[in-house]
Amino acid sequence: MKDRRVKAACWCLFLLLVAFPAAADQNQSVVELKVVIRFFAPINEYTVGQLMDLIDKKRSEGTREFVILLSTQGGDVGSGITAYNYLKALPKPVTLVTHNIGRVDSIGVIVYSAGSKRLCVPQARFLIHGVKSMGEGMASMDEKLLEERLKTLKIDSENIARVIAANSRKGQEEVRAAMSDRTTLNPEQAIAWGLAQEIRTDLYDAADFVYRIEPRR
């Protein structure tokens, strides 16, 4: 009887030792098929770099859907254009959803436009305006430098208008006029433009993996 108990105990121990590594391997192999990213920050090299690094990492691990919960006051034009081109070029079968959950202002509209599916909450707003030159205080500028700044502003404005027009029902000239007028859109107006596609209050599911982009402290 005693031998039987010892054999039974040994057998149970063996099964446990076999089961634990298998369970550990199963947990390690969980693939985050959908990742939600909270982007509540200015758009600049630092935050866009974080965003691209996170997406690269998760995509290499097998993620196939990214949802960017976006609320931003805008920021650097060059960084916003970079983010747009990167997000727009994500290879299939990866899909990208952008969701305005507060305000999407200025160059933030360009980042938002990268989504193949573009959502917004009922209280959201979109602000579209022209590009300003960020000079260094009262630094002196000669004629050539002034010409360079003006050319840069024109190209930035053209690029912004081109992106919005490509992802809405508006032509480039209409977008340029809206930028000049500093146009603010509510969700219904954004849908009429074709910029947003759907008003939705639910942001993500309880089982979704959520990450966040941090502004530089």
Domain boundaries, the chain: 30-213
Give the pLDDT of the chain (217 residues) as one tens digit per residue: 556 554 555 454 444 444 444 443 444 457 799 999 999 999 999 999 999 999 999 999 999 999 999 999 999 999 999 999 999 999 999 999 999 999 999 999 999 999 999 999 999 999 999 987 655 554 566 777 778 888 889 999 999 999 999 999 999 999 999 999 999 999 999 999 999 999 999 999 999 999 999 998 7
Residue type, 46: Y
Which residues are within 8 A (CB) of 40 and not within 5 positions of it... i.e. 6 or more apart?
Answer: 69, 71, 72, 102, 212, 213
Round to whole Å and give the CA distance between 11 and 14: 5
Q: Which of 114, 105, 2, 104 is nearest to 51 (CA)?
A: 114
Cis ω before 42 (30° cut-off from 0): no
Superfamily of domain 30-213: 2-enoyl-CoA Hydratase; Chain A, domain 1 (3.90.226.10)
**Model pTM above 0.85:** no
For strand 125-128 and strand 95-105, is the pairing parallel, antiparallel, or unpaired?
parallel
